Structure 1
Amino acid sequence: MRAITVTPGQADSVRLVHDHPEPPAEEGAVLVEALAVGVCGTDQEIIGGHYGEPVPGTDTLVLGHESLGRVLEDPSGKLEPGDLVAGIVRHPDPVPCPNCAVDEWDMCRNGQYTEHGIKGLPGFARDRWRIEPKYAVRLDPSLGEVGVLLEPTSVVAKAWDHIDRIGARATWEPRTALVTGAGPIGLLAALLAVQHGLTVHVLDRATEGRKPELVRALGATYHNGTVADLDLDPDVLLECTGAPPVVLDAMCEVGPNGIVCLTGVSSGGRTIDFDAGALNRALVLENNVVFGSVNANRRHWELAARALNEADPDWLASMITRRVPVEEYADAYAPTGDDIKVVVDFTR
């Protein structure tokens, strides 16, 4: 069986193994045939040796947390052979903490959770994988290969769920949303903002190519420059770059009673001179909220599946800019300037 593996902590250790063991029964009752895995920045960090934890008792980790597969068997009867599924990435900690105890593993409080392809659980970049039924999300068969976008969409679905919950603190009638960054998360955030009925603006560095085209195809407005240049005062601002100057601009430029959701993760080691007092004043006097969001629980995955079902399938397919056969895996993990979403194809 083929599997794409790394040695966490060892840079550039990614390799394709052709004799990887079949997934053991203890991984889960549902046996799934891999169709595709998506590639994202987390994979790049793991390959660079900056992140990731091996499966306990080994020094290796199978990559891949953005999955798409077809069910081969499920003795529980909850899924049928042939069902299109994605595997939920995070599993609750064994203690469990109060959140994990009620299936809110995305809000784990002690950090002992595990994650497929990232932290202590083998990933989905292998010909076959197993998972328990509660962690397998059935997809509408009409989605086909774009079902591989379910994991990043689940992250955005959680962000919007929490935005709506925070907004309910008072009369909440948002009209305008700004998304910073037009990568996969940013584009999917814009998609859900449009589905929420907001007027949507997207800010990114690209001046031409697929990103502006995809934004405009949503009926949203595409911008370059800085957040401050836009003079929008949006009700909702989703920051999807993790770039420190953009993060600070986002917190400063949201409108009164506004909500800023940070989904991008910044790298450390960089300092910026800014007026913290002015930021504090704006947040307090305008009743603004800034919060971070990462990962998702099953409810968010199901919301994400609904969002994909309601989206234009051609628009979703346009997000996938490269489909790389598994035997050419190295090309998938070598980013190019034109990439939006790269997928490793296990059917080729």
Structure 2
Amino acid sequence: MRALTVIPGHGGSLAVSEVPDPEPGEHELLVEGLALGVCGTDKEIARGEYGWAPPGRDRLVLGHESLGRVRRAPRGGDFAEGDLVVGVVRRPDPEPCGACARGQFDMCRNGRYTERGIKELDGYGSTLWTVEADYAVRLDPGLHETGVLMEPTTVVAKAWDEVQRVGERAWFEPRRALVTGAGPIGLLAALLGVQRGLDVHVLDRVEDGPKPGLVSRLGATYHAEDAAAVTERLRPDVVIEATGAGPVVFDVISGTAPYGIVCLTGVSATGRPLRVDAGSVNRDLVLDNGVVLGSVNANLRHYRAAADALAKADRSWLEALITRRVPLERAKEAFDGGEDDVKVVLTLDGEG
């Protein structure tokens, strides 16, 4: 079968390779790969900046944003041939920490987890793949074109879940949310905010292209202004930060409403010093009972919440997020950013 592979730590090693067909174990699904989302983590691995091959191997099958259709399932299980599924990314380590042992592998304390397509486990970037039934999630059949958005949706499902849990330490009825960044994570965060009935605002740098229209179609408001000015004017109750840009992070922290919650989902680049009035930030957080938290990855609860959110979403809006589909044979093209790209997807089933 064909698979998208890379030698972690070696930039320029990305290739479509012939690899042996997988053999499903007793409790595993055999899945026909349909599509694979490409994100920043995949590009970092392709550049040689990140990633670990499986033990004893040089090459890693890339890809963690999966979508596939079940070809074979264990008898008497919860899955059947033809089911549309995605595979969970992270696995707890063999000797799990307390969080992993309780199914909260997204909160691993010791860092010895593994991840499909990222860390020591082959990913989902192949025409066939297997996955343990316990780490597969069924999707609504109507999501055959857009279910590849599932994994990034799990990231923001977790972010909103974390916000809710933190907020409920006292009376909590947020009305206005600001999402910074209108990439796939930001737009999906906005979708879930609208589904929660909030007045959602999205901030990004661009003034044209597909992003403003996508935000408007959600019923949200788009801004392409200075982050500090927008945050000060809106005074949001909740901020989902999806840029990882240091100045934006501190601008939104300083401008929320009292009892404001800022959830950071964007990973910042290191080595860029930034002048910050730390005393002012600290004073505002303390006097307003503010909270800043980081959120990464997702567990099975978040996958199921994401599946529900996508099932309820407007299908044409989800389809508009996927601005480019590239066949596996031309996979390298998916790693070159286009000016108007929102989400780029590799097609694994031979359809471009």
Give the TM-score range, shorter chain: over 0.9
Q: Is 1:69–2:71 an aligned residue pair? A: no
Q: Is 1:233–2:235 an aligned residue pair? A: yes
Matched residue pairs, number? 347
Letter in 1 for 2:58: D
Helix, strand or coil at the partner of 2:303? helix
Helix, strand or coil at the partner of 1:177? strand
Helix, strand or coil at the partner of 1:57? coil
Q: Is 1:4–2:7 an aligned residue pair? A: no
Distance in structure 2 (CA, Å) of the matches to 1:226 and 1:197: 26
CA positional deviation for 1:49:
0.8
* Alpha-carbon contact 1:27-1:131 (below 8 Å) kept: no
Helix, strand or coil at the partner of 2:97? coil
Distance in structure 1 (CA, Å) of the matches to 2:31 and 2:60: 18
CA positional deviation for 1:28:
5.7
TM-score (ref. length: structure 1): 0.98
Identify the match of residue 258 of structure 1 among 252, 257, 260. 260
Distance in structure 2 (CA, Å) of the matches to 1:281 and 1:263: 23
- In structure 2, the residue matched to 1:128 is 128
Distance in structure 2 (CA, Å) of the matches to 1:220 and 1:320: 19
Q: Is 1:117–2:117 an aligned residue pair? A: yes
- In structure 2, the residue matched to 1:31 is 30
Deviations 1:19-55 (A, max 9, x none): 2111243596210000000000000111111110111
Distance in structure 2 (CA, Å) of the matches to 1:266 and 1:23: 37
Distance in structure 2 (CA, Å) of the matches to 1:26 and 1:84: 19
CA positional deviation for 1:347:
1.6
Distance in structure 1 (CA, Å) of the matches to 2:243 and 2:342: 13
Helix, strand or coil at the partner of 1:145? coil
Distance in structure 1 (CA, Å) of the matches to 2:274 and 2:204: 20
Deviations 1:45-67 (A, max 9, x none): 11111110111111111111000
Distance in structure 2 (CA, Å) of the matches to 1:142 and 1:276: 49
CA positional deviation for 1:143:
1.2
Distance in structure 2 (CA, Å) of the matches to 1:56 and 1:234: 46
Letter in 2 for 1:41: G
Identify if the C-alpha distance between structure 1 residues 218 and 23 changes in structure 2 by more than 3 Å, giving closer, same or farther: same
Deviations 1:237-277 (A, max 9, x none): 01000011111112111111000000000010100111111
Letter in 2 for 1:332: A
Distance in structure 2 (CA, Å) of the matches to 1:219 and 1:165: 26
* Alpha-carbon contact 1:177-1:199 (below 8 Å) kept: yes
Name segments (4+ residues, structure 1) moved above 4 Å.
none
Letter in 1 for 2:5: T
TM-score (ref. length: structure 2): 0.97
Helix, strand or coil at the partner of 2:279? helix
Helix, strand or coil at the partner of 1:123? coil
Report the identity percentage.
59
Deviations 1:220-244 (A, max 9, x none): 1000122211211100001000011
Distance in structure 2 (CA, Å) of the matches to 1:193 and 1:63: 31
Aligned residue runs from structure 1 range 155-174, under 5 A: 155-174=155-174
- In structure 1, the residue matched to 2:201 is 201
Unpaired segments of 5 or more residues in structure 1?
A: none
Unpaired segments of 5 or more residues in structure 2?
A: none
Distance in structure 2 (CA, Å) of the matches to 1:28 and 1:330: 34
CA positional deviation for 1:299:
0.6
Letter in 1 for 2:180: T
Deviations 1:70-101 (A, max 9, x none): 00111243210000000000011111100110
Q: CA RMSD in A?
A: 1.0
